[in-house]
């Protein structure tokens, strides 16, 4: 790598590295992300509007964790993935596309059609362990940070650096 | 200048494919440095020394020579400190600045437009600005990155950007660095661990790294107002930029000054941080309330400016109070009549980079071709590649429409070794009638079905996020 003739993509200042998120409905799962070596997200409780669940699955091992924003463990996440985790995987696939999620999680779908169902099935087939929910606080604060993006005012001073971020018509 | 009535458009496309003196040598030095950065500067392998020393050699005849040479030597020994990284970033930036100038001169010849004033030299970063803690933190993160290299980076080192970005975002004066680091870190995070990458966007990441490094120098990001302008503003089209958590719309326009002086090319920008789930038509929604020009653009109108602040680079620092709605103005009429004699403002010294080239042009009478190789417009026997990927999706303009068009307003750009054309609007003939399609047609709102659907989805997304924020954020 790095030596010899570089390809056009490697020599491009505006090479597209990630495709934009695809629009999805946020009511049930307001936040998902592929970060810190995990698929992680926040799932709104169906019964209590003040409560959310913080769910995560680690890349490679598929270890799962789910707890409320007040750090109570999720009753559904004993021995296997709970409904929150299933919903998070589904929405992540909508937002990023199944291939990107599978690649990030290092999940081998073999010959299966990449979608949320095959991804969940492939991960469960490895009998994933319960992970620790230490990450929950980090994930929740990242969600709050994400929400704060709506609070910053638009500005009319030019941002020359945005020239490096052209749109792309490619879909995730 | 090429007379407008000569046919085949105004552009000398033949000049765009001719070799540019010194370009290959400069880019080879950049590539070799980028290779060294990719593998990390903690303990560079001996075969990377040439790349580091070569960068310093390439700027040997400039005021940066001594600092660059010292930085390169320290880097080769694996002993580079933060100031050395800044010096290397400056050397790389200077080299690409020279490339920018050569390509810009070529683009100028090709368009045949009059040359604007070209001296903002000596306007470098001002000393007075205070060393801000967050800039120190940003530089420290960028230095960590340089030590790891793209091939050595992991989630832990990339995560170091988050607190820096969080501290930068609330500071309006630091938005440039915030938007840059946020987009850069998102790409790095999606590409971790670096050891498993099969291909690295070396030029791009080194560009972003070097720019960010220079923006950590206090005062470097300042773009002061240098004058005010009044007159008629005739929009040509809109250029959209976006990454997961930021968006910018930049309108290119011709300003006819009220004092009767020569028409000039200007830009008006609006940008906003955004959640990554607000996309497509939602971007227009976010920006629309802050730049009335977007609506004027959608409606095909001019605007009348009174004492609008402007920078030396021709960037209007827009505020709606200095603008009012003008008469209908067809961008194609502007492109045909006003554009050929409009002068271009110079680029700020630090911003000289080929990726910054975005020269408004008008072409017609071409043969368009769309196939697996992409989209090209052939003018006077010379094929010009069209960067159709830059057409925003929330727009009626499509690559297919460009392929069927007869006239095009666009931005001449340069990337990965060639000039390309970014379409902003096209004209085509449908049943003997001339129909125009603009990339920014939906900027002010739309009744188009797909556009309406996109706006509704974005409204809903923002509503959910605001509700969640209201309930969870201020606890
Ligand atoms: Zn759960």
Structure ipTM: 0.95
**B202 in A contact zone (CB under 8 Å):** yes
The fraction of chain B above a pLDDT of 90, given in percent, is: 85
- Between B460 and B121, residue with greater pLDDT: B460
- Residue A13 domain-assigned? no
B185 backbone φψ class: left, alpha, beta (φ>0; ψ -120 to 50): alpha
CB–CB contact B155 A34 (8 Å): no
Query: What's the pLDDT score for residue B94?
Result: 97
> Cα separation of A32 and A96, whole Å?
10
A 51-90 near B (Cβ less than 8 A): 52, 69
User: Ligand 1 centroid vs A49 CA: distance in angstroms?
Assistant: 15
Interval A34-91: pLDDT, tens: 998 999 999 999 888 889 999 999 999 999 999 998 889 999 988 899 999 999 999 9
Query: What's the pLDDT score for residue B430?
Result: 87
Across B17-39, b (16+ Cβ under 10 Å) vs e yields eeeeeebeebbebbbbbbbbbbb
For A156, the closest of B207, B319, B422 (CB atoms) is B319
Output DSSP code: residue B263. Answer: P
Give, in degrees to the nearest 5, the angle at Cα B74 between B71 and B76: 110
- Residue A55 domain-assigned? yes
B 330-349 near A (Cβ less than 8 A): 348
Query: What's the pLDDT score for residue A121?
Result: 95
DSSP element (H, E) containing A41: strand A38-44
CB–CB contact A156 B318 (8 Å): yes
> Cα separation of B321 and B291, whole Å?
10
CB–CB contact B243 A165 (8 Å): yes
Q: How many other C-beta atoms lie within 10 A of the C-beta of residue A99?
A: 14
Mutate to test the interface with B, among A154, A170, A172 (most CBs of B within 10 A): A154
Mutate to test the interface with A, among B154, B275, B315 (most CBs of A within 10 A): B275
Query: What's the pLDDT score for residue B121?
Result: 44
- Residue A111 domain-assigned? yes
Report the pLDDT averaged over residues B329-348.
Answer: 95
CB–CB contact B389 A49 (8 Å): no
CA-based max dimension of chain A: 59
CB–CB contact A12 B204 (8 Å): yes
A 110-139 near B (Cβ less than 8 A): none
Residues in contact with B121: Cβ distance below 8 Å, sequence separation at least 6, in sequence order: B349
CB–CB contact A9 B469 (8 Å): no
pLDDT at A154 over 90: yes
Per-residue pLDDT band at B11 (split at 50, 70, 90): confident
Please list every residue in chain A whose beta carbon sits closer than 8 Å to the beta carbon of residue B471: 49-50
**B390 in A contact zone (CB under 8 Å):** yes
Q: Shortest CA distance to B186 belongs to which of B207, B154, B161?
A: B161
pLDDT at B131 over 60: no
**B450 in A contact zone (CB under 8 Å):** no
Report the pLDDT averaged over residues B175-202.
Answer: 95
- Residue A162 domain-assigned? no
- Residue A28 domain-assigned? yes
Joined together, the tokens standing for residue A69 give: 């924003």
Output DSSP code: residue B394. Answer: S
Which residue in chain B has the smallest CA separation from A104? B190
> Cα separation of B475 and B470, whole Å?
9
- Residue A167 domain-assigned? no
Q: How far apart are the two ends of chain A, measured CA to CA in Å?
A: 26
B 247-286 near A (Cβ less than 8 A): 248, 250, 267-277, 279-280, 282, 286
**A95 in B contact zone (CB under 8 Å):** yes
Interval B350-388: pLDDT, tens: 999 999 999 999 999 999 999 888 999 999 899 999 999
Domain that holds residue A68: 20-143
Residues in contact with B258: Cβ distance below 8 Å, sequence separation at least 6, in sequence order: B230, B231, B232
CB–CB contact B275 A150 (8 Å): yes
**B50 in A contact zone (CB under 8 Å):** no
User: Ligand 1 centroid vs B383 CA: distance in angstroms?
Assistant: 57
Query: What's the pLDDT score for residue B414?
Result: 97
Interval B63-102: pLDDT, tens: 999 999 999 999 999 999 999 999 999 999 999 999 999 9
Per-residue pLDDT band at B6 (split at 50, 70, 90): very low
Q: Shortest CA distance to A14 belongs to which of A123, A122, A161, A171?
A: A161
User: Ligand 1 centroid vs A83 CA: distance in angstroms?
Assistant: 6
Please list every residue in chain B whose beta carbon sits closer than 8 Å to the beta carbon of residue A6: 31, 202-203
Query: What's the pLDDT score for residue A172?
Result: 67
Interval B407-425: pLDDT, tens: 999 999 999 999 999 999 9
For B199, the closest of A10, A150, A168 (CB atoms) is A10
Per-residue pLDDT band at B437 (split at 50, 70, 90): very high
Which residue in chain B has the smallest CA separation from A5? B31
Structural domain tally of chain A? 1
DSSP helix/strand/coil, B22? coil
Across B210-241, b (16+ Cβ under 10 Å) vs e yields bbbbbbbbbebbebeeeeebebbbbbbbbbbb
Query: What's the pLDDT score for residue B339?
Result: 96
Query: What's the pLDDT score for residue A3?
Result: 40
> Cα separation of B406 and B335, whole Å?
14
Interval A91-131: pLDDT, tens: 999 999 999 999 999 999 988 899 999 999 999 999 999 99
pTM: predicted TM-score of the whole model, two decimal places? 0.94
Interval B309-324: pLDDT, tens: 999 999 999 999 999 9
> How high is the mean pLDDT of chain B?
92
- Residue A159 domain-assigned? no
Query: What's the pLDDT score for residue B472?
Result: 85
- Residue A110 domain-assigned? yes
pLDDT at B195 over 90: yes
Mutate to test the interface with B, among A56, A91, A137, A164 (most CBs of B within 10 A): A164
């Amino acid at each position: 790598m790095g030596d010899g003739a570089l390809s056009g993509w490697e020599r491009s200042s505006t090479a597209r590295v990630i495709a934009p998120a695809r629009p999805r409905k946020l009511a049930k799962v307001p936040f998902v992300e592929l970060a810190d070596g995990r698929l992680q997200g926040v799932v709104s409780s169906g019964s209590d509007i003040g409560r959310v669940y913080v769910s995560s699955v680690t890349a490679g091992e598929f270890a799962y964790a789910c707890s409320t924003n007040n750090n109570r463990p999720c009753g559904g996440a004993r021995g296997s993935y709970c409904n929150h985790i299933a919903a998070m995987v589904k929405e992540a696939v909508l937002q990023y596309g199944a291939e990107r999620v599978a690649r990030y999680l290092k999940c081998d779908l073999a010959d299966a059609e990449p979608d949320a169902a095959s991804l969940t099935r492939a991960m469960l087939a490895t009998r994933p362990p319960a992970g620790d929910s230490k990450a929950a606080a980090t994930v929740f604060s990242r969600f709050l940070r994400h929400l704060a993006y709506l609070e910053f005012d638009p500005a009319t001073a030019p941002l020359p650096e945005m020239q490096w971020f052209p749109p792309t018509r490619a879909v995730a | 200048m090429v007379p407008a009535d000569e046919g085949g458009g105004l552009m000398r496309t033949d000049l765009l494919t001719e070799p540019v003196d010194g370009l290959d040598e400069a880019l080879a030095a950049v590539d070799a440095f980028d290779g060294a950065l990719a593998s990390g500067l903690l303990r560079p392998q001996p075969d990377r020394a040439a790349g580091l020393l070569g960068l310093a050699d390439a700027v040997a005849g400039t005021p940066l020579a001594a600092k660059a040479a010292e930085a390169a030597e320290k880097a080769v020994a694996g002993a580079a400190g933060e100031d050395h990284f800044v010096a290397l970033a400056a050397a790389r930036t200077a080299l690409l600045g020279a490339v920018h100038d050569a390509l810009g001169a070529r683009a100028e010849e090709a368009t045949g437009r009059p040359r604007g004033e070209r001296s903002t030299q000596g306007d470098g970063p001002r000393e007075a600005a205070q060393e801000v803690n967050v800039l120190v933190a940003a530089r420290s993160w960028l230095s960590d990155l340089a030590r790891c290299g793209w091939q050595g980076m992991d989630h832990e080192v990339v995560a170091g950007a988050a607190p820096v970005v969080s501290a930068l975002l609330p500071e309006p004066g630091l938005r440039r660095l915030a938007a840059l680091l946020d987009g850069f870190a998102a790409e790095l995070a999606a590409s971790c661990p670096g050891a498993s990458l099969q291909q690295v966007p070396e030029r791009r990441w080194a560009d972003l790294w070097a720019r960010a490094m220079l923006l950590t120098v206090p005062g470097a990001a300042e773009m002061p107002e240098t004058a005010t302008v009044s007159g008629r503003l005739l929009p040509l089209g809109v250029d959209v930029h976006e990454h997961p958590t930021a968006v910018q719309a930049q309108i290119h326009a011709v300003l006819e000054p009220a004092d009767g002086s020569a028409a000039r090319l200007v830009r008006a920008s609006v940008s906003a941080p955004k959640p990554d789930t607000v996309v497509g038509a939602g971007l227009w929604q976010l920006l629309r309330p802050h730049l009335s020009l977007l609506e004027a653009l959608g409606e095909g109108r001019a605007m009348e400016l009174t004492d609008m602040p402007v920078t030396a680079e021709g960037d209007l620092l827009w505020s709606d109070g200095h603008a009012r709605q003008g008469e209908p103005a067809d961008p194609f009429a502007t492109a045909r009549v006003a554009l050929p004699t409009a002068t271009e403002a110079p680029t700020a010294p630090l911003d000289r980079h080929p990726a910054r080239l975005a020269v408004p042009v008008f072409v017609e009478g071409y043969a368009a071709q769309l196939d697996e190789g992409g989209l090209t417009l052939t003018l006077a026997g010379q094929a010009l590649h069209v960067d159709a990927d830059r057409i925003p999706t929330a727009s009626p303009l499509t690559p297919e429409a460009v392929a069927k068009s007869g006239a095009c307003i666009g931005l001449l750009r340069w990337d990965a070794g060639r000039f390309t054309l970014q379409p902003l609007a096209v004209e085509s003939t449908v049943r003997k009638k001339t129909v125009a399609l603009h990339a920014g047609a939906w900027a002010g709102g739309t009744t188009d079905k797909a556009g309406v659907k996109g706006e509704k989805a974005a409204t809903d997304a923002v509503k959910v996020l605001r509700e969640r924020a209201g309930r969870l954020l201020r606890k």
